[in-house]
Amino acid sequence: MSHKMDSNKLEKHYWIWPIAIYLFLGGLGGGTLFVAGMFDILYGPEAGYITALAVLAGVACLGFGSFLLVFELGQPLVFLRVFLSGTAILKYGACLLILAMGFGFVNFLYYLPAEWQLFYYSWTWIRDLCCWLMAICGLGVMVYTGVFLASMKAKAFWNTPALPVLFTVSALSTATVLLAILAGVWPMPADFTVQLAGAAHAAEFDAHKLVEELHFIDSILVIAEVIVLLVYVLMMRAAGNITARTIAIKWLQGAWAPLFWGGMICLGLVIPFFCYRLGGAGAEFIAPVLVLAAGLLLRFMVVFSDQRHEIAGERRFYNRLPKGDEAFLHEWKAPY
Amino acid sequence: MADTIDIHAEGVEVKKSCCYFCHQNCGVLAYVKDGKVLKIEGDPTHPTNQGGLCCRGNIALLHLDHPARINHPLRRVGAKGENKWEKIPWEQAISEIAERLNAIKAESGAEAVAGAAGTLRTDDWSRRRFFNMFGTPNVFHNALLCWIPTFMVETAVSGWSPFETDLGDSRCVILWGFNPGASAMPGMRGYSDLRKAGMKIIVVDPRYSETAAHSDLWLPLRPGSDTALALAMINVIIMESLYDEEFVNNWCVGFDELWDHVMEYTPEWASEHTWLEPELIRECARMYAKNTPSNIQWGCTADQLGKTSGAGMHARAILRALTGNLDRPGGDLMPGPSHTYVTDEELEANDWLPEEQKAKQIGANKFKMTSWPGYQMIADTARETWGKAPTAEWMCEAHGPSVFKAILTGDPYQIRALIVSATNPVNSYGDSKMTLEALKKVEFLVTCEYWMTPAAIYSDYVMPIAGALERPIVHNNYGVTDHLIASQRAIQPLYERHTDYNFWRDLALATGQDVDQWPWETLEDAFYYVTYPLNEQGYVHGSYDEFVEKYRFFYPPVHYYGYGRNGFCTPSRRVELKSSILEELGYPALPTWIGPAENEIDDPDVAKEYPLVLTTGGGFMPYHHSEQFNIQSVRFLRHEPYFTINPEKADELGIKDGDWCWIETRRGRIRQRANVEPSVDKRVIYAQRGWWYPERQIAPGAVVPDEPFGCLESNVNVLSSVDDEHCDPIGGSWANRGLLCKVYKVDYWDEVETQFSIPGSSSEPGITVPPSKQKLAYEPIPYDPKPDFEVPEGLTWDKKTKYAWDLELGLYYDKDSGWLIHPETQVYYDLYTKYAYDPTDNTLVDEATGVHYDMETRQPIGGVAPVSAPATTEGGE
Amino acid sequence: MTRYAMVMDQRRCIGCQSCTVACRTWNELPLDILYNPVVGEGVVGEFPHVHQTFTPLICMHCDNPPCTICCPCKASQQDEDGIVWVESEKCMACKACVNSCPYGARDVSALDAPLHSYVRKCNFCKDRVREGELPYCVATCHQKARIFGDLDDPNSDVSKLVNGLNTNRIFPELGTDPQVYYIPDLGGVKL
């Protein structure tokens, strides 16, 4: 997409909201596939019915994220070249994304109503294999969203190994929430229910149990995220690099402090924790929304903290260049 | 993309063109195919730039076909300044202009037509030729701000103003108010190389300029106080016996008077005026005088100080002479006009301008050194010395601001028509409000331009002029050096553009001038006439283009000590430390301190309200004067005006870096953004020159604002003063530097006022005093030379010629021989008998009767009746 | 082998920005693209004891360029002689390289037609260089503050300067091994 003409390279954001959303969705989708896959593996295929819709949602997240990626990063026709060549992290990411989506989708196909299922119904090894692969690729995508940014040497606030950790924790947290929301919504086949341990309403019980477990896991994850996030930003605050420090100050004390303390830490992480502890509607409805919003906010804040290491004198130079709306830029159409 | 254009493809011609965006005229190679310039680059073999090109040179192609360029003659429709135009053919425009000019000449005399120009974007010898033949002396440039007064004063003192410095062998150079780091890129390379090789560089500049950053000694003086510094340096050099005694004894006159005169100008005295430590002034003087050969490089500061200017120029000329640096290896060279090729002066046809018209030149009665009175003296001496004179264009002009005042007041007479070429007077002349008003008011205005400017918009006709790449260019530094660099045109002018030469020639023919006087149809023809004599020097060529392609430049061998043959080009043939020419014109014969136009010592009341000292006019990259503001690639680098203020002062005034502020003097105020930087003293403000906003184009039919293109908004010349009392009485320079100002932040409800100021007194706007009643900074000193011999009875002492004359016979008395001499035939006559001396038989002869007389006895030879006359004198010959 | 490199002589640079404009016109770059900004802190110090230096920037043509590794399309590439360049037809303007470059040497113009933009960067004027000419910014520099040549040729000016003088590089700690060397200037009037 085209930006407003802007020559201030220090203040210019090359990646903007679509990338933030993409990173959020990538983490959410990848995380969902990973967590769902893990449940599948741990609890057996019957758990798959409980998480099936979440898997589909995860695939959809990845799909929409990919759309944004193509929309923002490239020209659709040229984008295909990503898969043909290169050693770039972006390429690995794109491949992981496609694979995760593919495996997730194939996995999901096994939970369609029986009458819709075709020849593959009996080949359950494919389902099991896809479950593993989906979990692995999901993990890959989730971690990749952080590595993608952290690999940018130029960016003072990104170029640290802690960023993938932060993104992974956040991705797991948001994925857990998505699973909890969608757990058990996907209808189970009647005969399958009968086959279960025999207890009445076994499916509901299992789903309920799963949700509770998920809430418990997420309450741990949000605390972990608070810790990782605070450590991350405080270490940046203490960094020798002036660009990183400036950004950290902006987060902690500056223009973004309300967003960071109020939005991220308090609303996004601490309040959900107490919601989970209190249980009930708070855990069920308020916490998920807040956690998801915090995940999105985190991606936005990180993506827009993309300042480059400054070369001495650059700021003074770029500050004095035109901003892009000056009349002289538009009065005459110069050939170049 | 660059790689889509193959400059090595077949059919691509390489033309040796040059840059035309400042005076350096760096060499440019233009790759041309089918009449289209594909690419340009710096010419690696060019002596000036050796392949380098600055911001301005590199935009030649953007300039060539810029969407805002004027490509056809425009004739005004509707009222003046309504910005409504119709395109008409070139010939029609020329004949209509000619008709109008002829009518004005018939009604009010040729002098009612004036011509304003800018700086070397033209071949102004042709303009001069036109105006001389037309009969008006009222042509001018911004010459008075740009080295010309320096040239004239230094030439009066020492016979030539060293434009060329023999830096290769020099050990120290003073860059006095000269910042090649922002205004003369090729020069700066040279200084960097030479400094590396050990030459010392002294920079005199109130601002820590790009050049000061590469200097050995930096003197950040109070703006406008240069004269005090120069006088104190003379003092140090004399008191510490650092002068070249041999040179001073043999080649200078007036040293003893100078000694007495500068006794009072001690470094301690100068310290008060310049804000420099006395020790720093001494160090500067010692560094310059001890490291001979040393130079003072040309620079324009001295020409922009107003009333203090002239003495400073004189003082610097003395500095060069005292140190014996004139015309010696490594020193300040004085080649005189070119002895080989045809100079600009020889093309100007100055003889065509009648004496009575010369006398009508506006400003010539006040600022004599740079107009006909002073120029005539210089030119006469130069012709005696070299047979050639400096150009009259630049060196001998009407006083620009006085012409604008004459338009407004009709004093001394009404100027009815003005032809403006290659200048944007509102930006480049002093007191912009007054200048703008004059442009609005003048009856008939023609502008030769590339762009629609604040002047063009009030014109009756706007003529499209060919620019860089569209014209051949001869570079010879206004005709004051003896070398020449030639460049060819890459392509013929686009659209209906013409070179300014063709404008003047066409206009000349249309006004009825004889075609025989304009034999060169094209500029190439004219330049071939210029270079033709070089054939004798071994530069064989059959056309101008051939000269360019084969030789490109002509550098005659350097001759040192040229004064050894004929003496210096002054009336006494010596360096006149005490200048007879200045004295004769009514100026102090020795450099005498007078403070800058406004200063805290002489004008404490003004300083109370305006406590800061303003300097303007300094060049800064990427612009040249008021040019290139509409070239986006250039404008991009500095799209808004910045003035510089010391951080301490900014803090005091609550100004932060980047704040829009007003800079106000008694004449008005402008706004620029603050560049808070410790490059200036905390009492100094440095404001950028040239600012206007060409992007504020006026749609056809829209109301033209009072100040089109924001031409007063950030324009430093709103602040400068052209009051006669602020101008230098010697050279007429007005005051751009050392003015008193104040600075404060712009409030958001502020508007730029466009109220009309001067002339009369710029401190009280409005016409209060007619120009002819205005006072000068000091009254002319009556020139009343007494004869240093006893005037024989019957003869009359004439103080102008400094001879005793026999008025009846038109003979002057030669005090050494005691004879009378006829000024033209050089025949000697006996003082008492008035008989002519006949050298063939050593007798006297009565021309009336043809009778010969014996030399000794005064007795007729051959028996004719004797004449009773006492024989007291011996024949001198 | 040939290894092109550039030396910036900060003792000579006067901040005239000729290279900035020259590069733009020679390469016909859109208005918002600068390959050669000349940056500086302005005059610093305390009047009258002040100094000033300029830093001309350009693509560092790193020996370990982060920008080519991160390119998913192989558009951004490095040739044997060290020149890093972008093959515009292959580029999809994902800007990964723009974000990866610590020197701000890459950019995408907002003036390109949508879906036809690509990352632009300095390529050391490789078309000129491979015909034996100098990069245009070097040719146009009046001050001769830019020196270009083959670092592997022991007789080249760059080789002599880089080996014989104490030169600086920008952000060597990032491991990019930049191949533009700076000869520092004291910047002030000699005390």
The CATH code of the domain at C4-190 is 3.30.70.20
What's the mean per-residue pLDDT of chain C? Answer: 91
Q: How far is C173 from chain B (nearest CA, A)?
A: 30
Residues of B with CB under 8 A from a CB of A: 62, 66-68, 629-630, 632-633, 635-640, 642, 658, 693-697
Contact flag B677-C141 (C-beta cutoff 8 Å): no
What's the mean per-residue pLDDT of chain B? Answer: 90
Q: Which residues of B touch C21 (CB under 8 A)?
A: 54-55, 58-59, 622, 633-634, 637
Across C73-96, average pLDDT:
90
Q: Which domains does chain A have, with CATH numbers?
A: 3-187+204-311 (1.20.1630.10)
Tally the C-alpha atoms within 13 A of residue B160's C-alpha that lie toward its C-beta. 32
State both tokens at A263.
């939005």
DSSP strand pairing (B811-814 vs B737-745) = unpaired
CA-CA distance, B425 to B456, in Å (whole number)? 10
- Residue of chain B whose Cα is closest to the Cα of C23: B58
Q: Indicate which CATH number applies to the domain containing B42.
A: 2.20.25.90
Pairwise pLDDT comparison (B875 vs A140), residue with the higher score: A140
- Residue of chain A whose Cα is closest to the Cα of C111: A5
Whole-model pTM over 0.80: yes
One domain, residues B201 and B287 = yes
Backbone angles phi, psi at B561, to 5 degrees: 50, 40
Q: Indicate which CATH number applies to the domain containing B119.
A: 3.40.50.740
Q: Which residues of A touch B635 (CB under 8 A)?
A: 328
CB nearest to A331's CB, from B638, B639, B697: B697
**DSSP state, residue C184:** -
CB nearest to C110's CB, from A6, A153, A334: A6
Closest CA to B63 of B20, B97, B106: B20
Q: Is the pLDDT of residue B227 over 60?
A: yes
Q: Which residues of A touch C87 (CB under 8 A)?
A: none
How far is CA B865 from each of CA B855, B858, B861, C20, rounded to the nearest angstrom? 15, 11, 9, 94
DSSP strand pairing (B113-117 vs B417-421) = parallel
Report helix, strand or coil for B89. coil
Across B354-366, average pLDDT:
94
Sheet with strand C4-9: strands edge to edge: C146-150, C4-9, C180-183
* Residue B359, domain member (yes or no): yes
The band of B870, judged by pLDDT with boundaries at 50, 70 and 90, is: very low
Contact flag A336-C24 (C-beta cutoff 8 Å): yes
One domain, residues B546 and B632 = no
Q: What's the number of domains chain B is made of?
A: 5
Contact flag A327-B694 (C-beta cutoff 8 Å): no
* Residue B437, domain member (yes or no): no
One domain, residues B268 and B190 = yes
Each residue's pLDDT expressed in tens, for chain A with a length of 336 residues: 334 677 778 888 888 888 899 999 999 999 999 988 888 777 766 677 778 888 888 889 888 888 888 777 766 667 777 776 667 788 888 888 888 888 888 888 877 776 766 666 677 777 788 888 888 999 999 999 999 899 888 898 998 999 999 999 999 999 999 888 887 777 766 655 545 444 444 454 566 777 888 888 888 999 999 999 999 999 999 988 888 999 999 999 999 999 999 988 998 888 889 888 887 777 778 888 999 999 999 999 999 998 888 899 999 999 999 988 888 888 887 656
| B159-168, B348-357, B576-585: the lowest-pLDDT one | B159-168
Q: Indicate which CATH number applies to the domain containing B238.
A: 3.40.228.10
Burial of B532 from C-beta contacts in 10 A (0-12 / 13-18 / 19+)? middle
The enclosing H or E element of B802 equals none
Q: Which residue has the tokens 């010369």?
A: B358
* Residue B150, domain member (yes or no): no
CA-CA distance, A105 to B301, in Å (whole number)? 80
State both tokens at B285.
């003087």
Q: Which residues of A touch B642 (CB under 8 A)?
A: 320
This complex has an ipTM of 0.93
Contact flag B218-C189 (C-beta cutoff 8 Å): yes
CA–CA–CA angle B535, B540, B541 (5° rounding): 100
Q: Is the pLDDT of residue B570 over 80?
A: yes
One domain, residues B531 and B415 = yes
One domain, residues B498 and B376 = yes
CB nearest to B67's CB, from A320, A333, A336: A333
DSSP strand pairing (C4-9 vs B852-854) = unpaired
Length of chain B (residues): 877
CA-CA distance, B122 to B723, in Å (whole number)? 29
One domain, residues B741 and B823 = no
Contact flag A306-C99 (C-beta cutoff 8 Å): yes
Q: How far is B84 from chain C (nearest CA, A)?
A: 31
Contact B61, B37 (CB under 8 A): yes
Q: Parse chain C into domains and list their residue ranges.
A: 4-190
* Residue B726, domain member (yes or no): yes
Contact B171, B294 (CB under 8 A): yes
B194 CB neighbour count, 10 Å cutoff: 17
* Residue B773, domain member (yes or no): no
In sequence order, the 6+-apart residues with CB closer than 8 A to the CB of A198 are none
* Residue B204, domain member (yes or no): yes
In sequence order, the 6+-apart residues with CB closer than 8 A to the CB of A113 are A187, A189
One domain, residues B109 and B194 = no
| B194-208, B834-848, C11-25: the lowest-pLDDT one | B834-848
CA-CA distance, A183 to B786, in Å (whole number)? 120
Q: At what angle do helices B278-290 and B226-239 cross, to 10 degrees?
A: 60
- In this predicted structure, what is the pLDDT of residue A293? 92
Q: Which of A19, A71, A79, A314 should be substituted to probe chain C, the one whose Cβ sees the most C Cβ atoms within 10 Å?
A: A314
Q: Which residues of A touch C99 (CB under 8 A)?
A: 14-15, 152, 154-155, 306
* Residue B152, domain member (yes or no): no
Q: How far is C137 from chain B (nearest CA, A)?
A: 9
Contact flag A74-C93 (C-beta cutoff 8 Å): yes
Q: Which residues of C touch B188 (CB under 8 A)?
A: 14, 142-143
Domain that holds residue B101: 89-138+337-422+465-554
The band of B756, judged by pLDDT with boundaries at 50, 70 and 90, is: low
Contact flag C31-B682 (C-beta cutoff 8 Å): no
CA-CA distance, A94 to C178, in Å (whole number)? 30
Burial of A230 from C-beta contacts in 10 A (0-12 / 13-18 / 19+)? middle
- Residue of chain A whose Cα is closest to the Cα of C104: A9
Tens digit of each residue's pLDDT (9 = 90 or more) over B536-545? 999 999 999 9
One domain, residues B199 and B103 = no
Closest CA to B219 of B165, B267, B276, B285: B276
Tens digit of each residue's pLDDT (9 = 90 or more) over C160-180? 999 999 999 999 999 999 999
* Residue B418, domain member (yes or no): yes
| B177-191, B733-747, B803-817, C98-112: the lowest-pLDDT one | B803-817
